[in-house]
């Protein structure tokens, strides 16, 4: 007998409705994300606008709801005007964030054309690093104003007569980070973000505006930054951003497997700070979290090091991390954490979509394939429907350096009352062995098991490649069975599973 993981799922344990925006992603002008990622006019699959249709197909299959653009660190030195208008008049410029040359072949209008084809909602990040209120208004008017003023007429002349209708706007990117072009103190940022937001709301009061939170929960100013920024910007913004990247460091596998504990802590802390400001200012409105960068990222590896010296390449190979089976399990657990915080996480963006720390990989002129992380994302996006349900969990634990003691199992469920679909997402994040799963579903009448899939590999470090793209894929878990409202089965060590049930007609 293996140690037992016991879950209790009940329709009364409601957290919030599943939000489609939880399944956002991110396209930055970084490495090969844009050029030879989404856009490659010479590729055999390219459409009339130069977009790779093989990547478009996988983006739709991934189930991406929204896409943040154009950065990231890139945006803090970006001039949006460089990327619109006749191609032959667009300047090439140095991108200081990634020490690359930006050819500006793709800009706002091209991205919006791509977003339409990919069937995703855009989220546009503005430059508050080297620029300010004036640029914020200009790019907003160019994108969203109906024809009849200079900037919207310019957009129409550039081929987009209809307003783009972008609702979500990020007020800069990671402005607390000393690596950011135009990095600011909390006070400096609070000022410019508030003034940009106030002006943008004069143009359109219904926008959804996102202030920069701390770049990660390890920043020395984490908490204090959110407090200062929200104290000034509270009435003008809707969300505050959170960013987090995880990786196995110095062979500490156990802490890596427990990464979702940090995401839980991070979200809870940002929410606590936002609610502290709410109480202080005596406001009714609640600030939500935009978790607009999250992923596994091996930042110390050579592929994350930007070029240097006189080398300013166009679309270099950068951040092309290759994800293992274990990475996909941790990744699936991060999705569980995001879902269970659906009451306060209003939007999230997987960073990034193609080639750059991405679920989709391409060869220039060649193949496209799915990384291991593609699978938990697409299955969660497709099957998380209705209401998010908190899951009561009795679990063995394991020790790790970073968090002390963590539960071996972690889970969340979603319940669609209308269709009768119940889905349980569960991980065994303990490397020491399998768990005997028992799920009490007696609070639901007449369920039948539809499908149980488990992502696991005997070698947790094995990955998918262009030559062997299906090395790690979710497989049918034949041990899972449903008897008298109780699910039982086995979850292998270091595994992520999705268990789908549905109400029978009876």
For the chain, count helices (H), then strands (E): 10, 26
Of 28 and 264, nearer to ligand AHR (C-beta) is: 28
Q: What binding mask, one character per residue, do residues 385-414 give for ligand AHR by CB under 6 A, x or -?
A: ------------------------------
Structure tokens at 144: 């969203």
Q: Which of 102, 110, 174, 248 is catalytic?
A: 174
The CA distance from 423 to 452, in Å, is 10
Q: What binding mask, one character per residue, do residues 27-66 give for ligand AHR by CB under 6 A, x or -?
A: -x-x------------------------------------
Of 96 and 412, nearer to ligand AHR (C-beta) is: 96
CB of residue 357 vs ligand AHR: minimum separation in angstroms? 6
∠ CA(7), CA(13), CA(14), 5° rounding? 130
Of 295 and 342, nearer to ligand AHR (C-beta) is: 295
Beta-carbon contacts of 282 under 8 Å, excluding residues fewer than 6 positions away, are none
Binding to ligand AHR (CB under 6 A) within 335-354 occurs at 351-352
Binding to ligand AHR (CB under 6 A) within 433-492 occurs at none
Query: Which of the ranges 67-75, 141-149, 370-378, 393-401 carries the binding residues for ligand AHR, by CB under 6 A?
Result: 67-75
∠ CA(110), CA(352), CA(288), 5° rounding? 95
CB of residue 120 vs ligand AHR: minimum separation in angstroms? 18
DSSP string, 400-418: ETTTEEEESEEEEEEEETT
Considering only 54, 232, 238, 293, the residue that binds ligand AHR (CB under 6 A) is 293
195 flagged as catalytic: no
Report which residue's Cβ sits closest to ligand AHR: 72
CB of residue 98 vs ligand AHR: minimum separation in angstroms? 8
448 flagged as catalytic: no
CB of residue 137 vs ligand AHR: minimum separation in angstroms? 23
CB of residue 129 vs ligand AHR: minimum separation in angstroms? 11
Of 142 and 298, nearer to ligand AHR (C-beta) is: 298
Of 351 and 388, nearer to ligand AHR (C-beta) is: 351
DSSP summary character for residue 42:
T
Binding to ligand AHR (CB under 6 A) within 153-182 occurs at 173-174
Residue labelled with tokens 């008298």? 484
Judged by CB under 6 A, the number of residues near ligand AHR is: 10
CA 416 from centroid of its chain's CA atoms: 23
DSSP string, 157-184: HTT--S-----EEEESS-TT-TTSTT--
Considering only 24, 37, 63, 72, the residue that binds ligand AHR (CB under 6 A) is 72
Of 126 and 351, nearer to ligand AHR (C-beta) is: 351
Beta-carbon contacts of 341 under 8 Å, excluding residues fewer than 6 positions away, are 15, 264, 267, 268, 271, 289
Partners of residue 27 on adjacent β-strands: none
Is residue 100 at the binding interface for ligand AHR, with CB under 6 A as the rule? no
Query: Which of the ranges 14-22, 68-76, 189-197, 307-315 carries the binding residues for ligand AHR, by CB under 6 A?
Result: 68-76
∠ CA(320), CA(322), CA(324), 5° rounding? 160
> Are 417 and 11 within 8 A, CB to CB?
yes
Is residue 71 at the binding interface for ligand AHR, with CB under 6 A as the rule? yes
CB of residue 20 vs ligand AHR: minimum separation in angstroms? 22
By three-state DSSP, how is residue 138 classified? helix
CB of residue 486 vs ligand AHR: minimum separation in angstroms? 43
Is residue 262 at the binding interface for ligand AHR, with CB under 6 A as the rule? no
Structure tokens at 58: 């996988």
| 3-state helix vs strand vs coil in the chain, percent to 5 | 30, 25, 45
Of 3 and 307, nearer to ligand AHR (C-beta) is: 307
CB of residue 26 vs ligand AHR: minimum separation in angstroms? 7
Q: What binding mask, one character per residue, do residues 114-153 give for ligand AHR by CB under 6 A, x or -?
A: ----------------------------------------
Burial of 199 per CB tally in 10 Å (0-12, 13-18, 19+): middle
Is residue 102 at the binding interface for ligand AHR, with CB under 6 A as the rule? no
How are beta strands 397-400 and 404-407 bridged, if at all?
A: antiparallel
The CA distance from 226 to 236, in Å, is 14
DSSP string, 423-481: EEEEEE--TT--EEEEEE-TTSSSEEEEEEEEE--SSTT-B--SSSTTSS--EE-TT-E
Q: Which of 102, 226, 248, 293 is catalytic?
A: 293
Cis ω on the peptide bond leading into residue 332 (within 30° of 0)?
Answer: no
Is residue 373 at the binding interface for ligand AHR, with CB under 6 A as the rule? no
Query: Which of the ranges 70-78, 132-140, 327-335, 405-413 carries the binding residues for ligand AHR, by CB under 6 A?
Result: 70-78
> Are 139 and 80 within 8 A, CB to CB?
yes
CB of residue 302 vs ligand AHR: minimum separation in angstroms? 16
Query: Which residues contact ligand AHR (rule: CB under 6 A)?
Result: 28, 30, 71-73, 173-174, 293, 351-352
- Enzyme catalytic residues: 174, 293
């Amino acid at each position: 007998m293996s140690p037992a993981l016991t879950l209790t799922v009940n329709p009364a344990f409601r957290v919030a409705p599943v939000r489609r925006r939880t399944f956002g992603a991110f396209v930055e002008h970084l490495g090969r994300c844009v050029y030879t990622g989404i856009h490659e006019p010479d590729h055999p699959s390219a459409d009339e606008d130069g977009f790779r249709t093989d990547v478009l197909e996988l983006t739709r299959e991934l189930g991406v709801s929204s896409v943040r653009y154009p950065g990231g660190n890139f945006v803090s030195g970006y001039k949006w005007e460089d990327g619109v208008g006749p191609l032959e008049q667009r300047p090439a410029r140095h991108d200081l964030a990634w020490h690359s040359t930006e050819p500006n072949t793709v800009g706002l209008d091209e991205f919006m054309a791509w977003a339409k084809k990919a069937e995703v909602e855009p989220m546009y990040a503005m430059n508050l690093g080297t620029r300010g209120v004036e640029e914020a208004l200009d790019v907003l008017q160019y994108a969203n104003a109906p024809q009849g003023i200079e900037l919207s007429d310019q957009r129409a002349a550039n081929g987009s007569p209809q307003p783009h209708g972008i609702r979500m706007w990020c007020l800069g990117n990671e402005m607390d980070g000393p690596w950011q072009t135009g990095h600011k103190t909390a006070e400096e940022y609070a000022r410019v973000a508030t003034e940009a937001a106030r002006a943008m709301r004069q143009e359109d009061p219904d926008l959804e505006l996102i202030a920069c939170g701390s770049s990660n929960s390890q920043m020395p100013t984490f908490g204090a930054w959110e407090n200062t920024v929200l104290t000034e910007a509270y009435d003008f913004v809707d969300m505050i951003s959170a960013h987090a990247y995880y990786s196995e460091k110095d062979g500490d596998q156990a802490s890596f497997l427990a990464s979702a504990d940090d995401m839980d802590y991070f979200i809870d802390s940002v929410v606590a700070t936002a609610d502290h400001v709410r109480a202080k200012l005596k406001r009714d409105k609640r600030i939500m979290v935009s978790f607009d960068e999250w992923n596994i990222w091996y930042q110390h590896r050579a592929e994350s090091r930007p070029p240097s010296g006189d080398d300013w390449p166009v679309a270099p190979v950068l951040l092309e991390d290759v994800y293992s089976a274990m990475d996909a399990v941790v990744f699936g657990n991060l999705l569980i954490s995001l879902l269970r915080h659906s009451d306060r996480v209003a939007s999230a963006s997987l960073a990034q979509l193609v080639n750059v720390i991405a679920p989709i990989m391409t060869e220039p002129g060649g193949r496209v394939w799915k990384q291991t992380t593609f699978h938990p994302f697409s299955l969660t996006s497709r099957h998380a429907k209705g209401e998010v349900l908190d899951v009561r969990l009795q679990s063995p634990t394991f020790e790790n350096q970073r968090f002390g003691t963590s539960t071996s199992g972690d889970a969340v469920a979603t319940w669609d009352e209308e269709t009768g679909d119940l889905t349980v997402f569960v991980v065994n994040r303990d490397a020491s062995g399998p768990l005997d799963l028992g799920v009490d579903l007696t609070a639901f009448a007449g369920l039948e098991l539809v499908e149980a899939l488990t992502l696991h590999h005997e070698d947790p470090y094995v990955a998918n490649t262009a030559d062997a793209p299906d090395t790690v894929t979710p497989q049918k878990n034949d041990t899972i069975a449903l008897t008298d409202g109780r699910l039982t089965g086995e979850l292998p060590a270091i595994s992520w599973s999705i268990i789908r049930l549905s109400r029978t007609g009876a």
